[in-house]
Amino acid sequence: MHKTTVPAWAIERGRAMHFFPAIEAKKTALLVIDMQNYFIAPGQGLANPVTLSTVPTINRIATALRKAGGQVLFSRHTAVDEGSGKLPPWISRSGPHAESHAALTAGAQGHGLYRELDVQPQDQIFDKYRYSAFFNAAIDLDKHLRSNGIDTVIVTGTVTNCCCETTARDAMMRDYKVFFVDDATSAVTDEEHAAALLNMQIAFADVRPSDEVLALITK
């Protein structure tokens, strides 16, 4: 777990816009962002022990939300060579980028969801091709959520300051209530994680630890 906290002044400022006293499960979806082997499994290119440590916490939230009638969705960051999901030409394909591209291609070991995640048959698994799960994904996430009566999302996964933050920002801009779970998200460093949480709390989400999120879930 990252050793970071959101400053009290940021919590106070953010709660003027984003303070939600309850989570109505039937109107809520848990978004588990990119919890794939490449970012977690020992020996994989960007394996991070902090990300690994969040798996039990994400599983607890998923179990509680399903039990109360909510939905759970897992995204997989996916590299492609053709189509609208292809990265722009100015992003290098050499060095670490080349390794990531190969590892996150559909069918590669690194692309798969980590084996210890609690994925159930009713859950939705979908590929996404850019940072946000709301942009250029294999499903129209906004349409999917709205068609299922969802108005609240809980963001978990990795990396805090990239795909998680971008997804949360996009959700807020689409008028979803956004919870961002500080101990169920992870980044490469404590500093990056802290910076993202600060941004989330001030302007985009209700940032809380998992114990508080679990306590707010109602049927």
Q: Is the pTM of this model over 0.85?
A: yes
Residue 24 gets which letter from DSSP?
E
How confident is the model over 54-77, as a mean pLDDT? 98
Whether the per-residue pLDDT at 92 is higher than 80: the answer is: no
Contact 193, 4 (CB under 8 A): yes
Domains along the chain with CATH numbers? 8-218 (3.40.50.850)
Contact 129, 78 (CB under 8 A): yes
How confident is the model over 116-123, as a mean pLDDT? 98
How confident is the model over 125-145, as a mean pLDDT? 96
Whether the per-residue pLDDT at 106 is higher than 70: the answer is: yes
- Given 3, 26, 27, 34, the catalytic residue: 34
Q: Does residue 162 carry a catalytic annotation? A: no
- Of the pLDDT bands very low, low, confident and very high (cuts 50, 70, 90), residue 87 is confident
* Cα 34 from chain centroid (whole Å): 7
Q: Does residue 143 carry a catalytic annotation? A: no
Contact 103, 111 (CB under 8 A): yes
- Of the pLDDT bands very low, low, confident and very high (cuts 50, 70, 90), residue 94 is low
Looking at residue 90, what is its pLDDT?
A: 77
- Given 142, 162, 163, 206, the catalytic residue: 163
- Whole-angstrom Cα distance, residue 148 to residue 133? 17
- Given 67, 86, 123, 128, the catalytic residue: 128
Summary mean pLDDT of the chain: 94
Q: Does residue 34 carry a catalytic annotation? A: yes
DSSP one-letter string for 83-141: STTSPPTTS--STHHHHHHHHTBTTSGGGSBPTTS---TTSEEEEESSS-TTSSBSS-H
Looking at residue 62, what is its pLDDT?
A: 98
